[in-house]
């Protein structure tokens, strides 16, 4: 009985080690998140650059964005997000409403007020 229990624990540890650190519901680390995230081939370009020191820069396709970010368990929390106030015709400036995000592999789901999904970005490296 004790031997079976040890085997079950060992198998569980091996399986847990195979889990992705950036999968949905998994704890994130700053290295999972740091880097550039962009919206496909958007024109004008929509992107976030998340620096390793917690700084954030980017563009919503019209306005320049600055702020900071940190990993909060399974989410990325954005704070002090500020945007220039340019008026651009026919540009959806959804990214300026970012409050947090989840990361699943190379896809970031950006959340706005009330944790509502407002768009997605892909890791671009």
Give pLDDT, residue 22: 39
- Nearest alpha carbon to residue 37 among 94, 81, 79, 95: 95
In the predicted structure, residue 23 carries a pLDDT above the cut 60: no
| Residue 125 pLDDT level (bands cut at 50, 70, 90) | low
For residue 24, what pLDDT is reported? 56
Note the pLDDT of residue 104.
Answer: 94
Q: Percentage of the chain with pLDDT > 90?
A: 70
Q: What is the mean pLDDT of residues 15-33?
A: 63
Q: Is the pLDDT score of 113 beyond 80?
A: yes
pLDDT of residue 8: 33
Encode pLDDT of 53-112 as tens digits.
Answer: 999 999 999 999 999 999 999 999 999 999 999 988 988 999 999 999 999 999 999 999
**What is the pLDDT at residue 87?**
87
Q: Three-state SS string across the chain, please?
A: CHHHHHHHHHHHHHHHHHCCCCCCCCCCCHHHHCEEEECCCCCCCEEEEECCCCEEEEEECCCEEEEEEEEECCEEEEEEEEECCCCCCCCCCHHHHCCEEEEECCEEEEECHHHCEEEEEEECC
């Amino acid at each position: 009985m004790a031997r079976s229990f040890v085997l079950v624990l060992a198998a569980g540890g091996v399986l847990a080690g195979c889990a992705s650190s950036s999968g949905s519901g998994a704890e994130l680390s700053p290295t999972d998140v740091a880097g550039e995230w962009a919206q496909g081939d958007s024109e004008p370009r929509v992107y976030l650059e998340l620096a390793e020191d917690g700084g954030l820069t980017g563009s919503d396709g019209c306005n320049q964005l600055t702020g900071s970010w940190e990993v909060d368990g399974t989410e990325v929390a954005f704070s002090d997000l500020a945007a220039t106030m340019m008026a651009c015709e026919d540009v959806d400036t959804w990214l300026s409403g970012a409050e947090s995000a989840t990361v699943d592999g190379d896809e970031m789901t950006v959340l706005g007020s009330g944790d509502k999904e407002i768009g997605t970005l892909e890791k671009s490296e």
